[in-house]
Chain A
Amino acid sequence: MESSPPAMSRLIIVMIIASVLLTFGLARNSSATVPPCPLATDATITQMAQQWAAFFKTPYCAYLDERRNILLKRKLAAGVLRQTSVMSEIFRVTEESASTAKRIEKAARRVSFRDQGVADVVAAKLRALKSGGGLITYSAGERAFAKASRMEKALEKFAPTAFDFCSRHQAQKDAAKLAYLRGLVQAQELRLLSLLKMMDALEGER
């Protein structure tokens, strides 16, 4: 009886061990917000730091990627002025007409060089050139008018208020397209104006 502890003593021992374990558990739980580092080595801290860093980094990077993709999508959105290809087709046709050039040549060949002074030949040549220039200018004016009318009709289908409802990126694209079309129209204007000035230069006293 003396060598084996009685039931009461065993119960006390079990209670002490249980309370020890309970104390240890409570200590672990109380430091749950600051996880205990039983082996407080550099490797453990680094590993934990990496986990935390990944925890912060992942949502931030995902957010940044998402914003960037949205921005890229906006940048790639097509403009609201869709008819520009058709409009540019209007100006693809050349202004020069082979038939007009032939008519000028024909008129110029009528100039006779026989029994005439230099001044007469020059006057005749310039007259022929002037009438030829008149043909070219008229033809150019006719074509320019046709192109301008077609362009005007094409542009009338578009309402510029559409720019108010589109993004800045789309408006930039449309601005570029309109600048392109404007260039083609201006080239037409320059050609016509130049022909008129050439005609002017051929007439008048000298």
Chain B
Amino acid sequence: MKDRPGMIPGTTMGKVICGVVIFFLLATSAYGTAVQVINFPALMSMVQKMVTQAITDKIKAVWNEEVKIKLEPGTINTKAVSFLKYNISSFTDKMISQHMKNNAGAFARGDGKLFAETAKSKTVPTIPSANSDFKEFQKKIREVSILLAGAPGGGTDKMKHFTTAEYAAVKIRDVFNQASVAAYEKASEGVYVAERFRKELSSFDPAYIDGATSDQAVKDLAKLAYYNAILQSEMLAVMSQGEMRRALEGR
């Protein structure tokens, strides 16, 4: 009985058991080695690709959302702002180059018909309302401009006997009248633009800016800075025209 255990490997059963044990040991070892050497890099490569793709997709989605927010327009509707389009300069230039040289002023030889008609008309000269149509506004301003321009002087023929000083004085007065027309018309444009700006912009409630994103607020800020620059240039134009006229005053 004591020799029985030592004899087991020698028996058929013992050999089978030993074979099975060796097989399991070898299979387990091969199995573990196979996972680490062959499958692990493939797995990591796949994971890397998937994670990279997932993160890239997420960044793209967030970025697209951010761009969408950044592209949203501001709260101030620029289409409703029309004060920028009113400009009286070409109207004034036309008045000075055509009307004043031909029908008004000391050097004009015209018959003064337009001047006389405007003077004698029953139309009451007044500073027109900025709420009226711009063409109507211009028409009213032009009536005053014609009066400011003065009657035609008959040209240089009438000034033949003038001394140099008198001739210079007439010239200065003529230029002064032109400057008065230019200053009056530019200033009237200033009144019109200022009233339009007030009317159009005051309908906007600035509290809307609080409800929008800061990106929209920056856009509104840029638009308002632009409008303010327009207003300032309008002020500069009105002031400079007025000061040019003043420089000629009393000469």
Contact = CB atoms under 8 A, between A and B. Distances in A.
Interface of A is mostly: helix
A200 B184 CA distance: 8
A47 B218 CA distance: 48
B129 interface: yes
Contacts of B189: 194
B194 A176 contact: no
Interface residues of B, number: 104
A78 B242 CA distance: 43
A75 B50 CA distance: 33
B111 to A, nearest CB: 12
Contact of B24 (A20, A45, A183): A20
Contacts of B62: 64-65, 68
A149 interface: no
A53 B147 contact: no
A190 interface: yes
Nearest to A181: B206
Nearest to A190: B194
B125 interface: yes
A64 to B, nearest CB: 6
Contact of B190 (A19, A23, A57, A197): A197
A161 interface: no
Interface of B: 1, 4-5, 8, 13, 17, 20-21, 24-25, 28-29, 31-32, 34-36, 38-40, 42-43, 46-47, 50-51, 54-55, 58-59, 62, 65-66, 69, 112, 115-116, 119-120, 122, 124-127, 129-131, 144, 147-148, 150-151, 173, 176-177, 180-181, 183-184, 186-191, 193-195, 197-199, 201-202, 204-207, 209-215, 217-218, 220-221, 224-225, 227-228, 231-232, 234-235, 238-239, 241-242, 245-246, 249-250
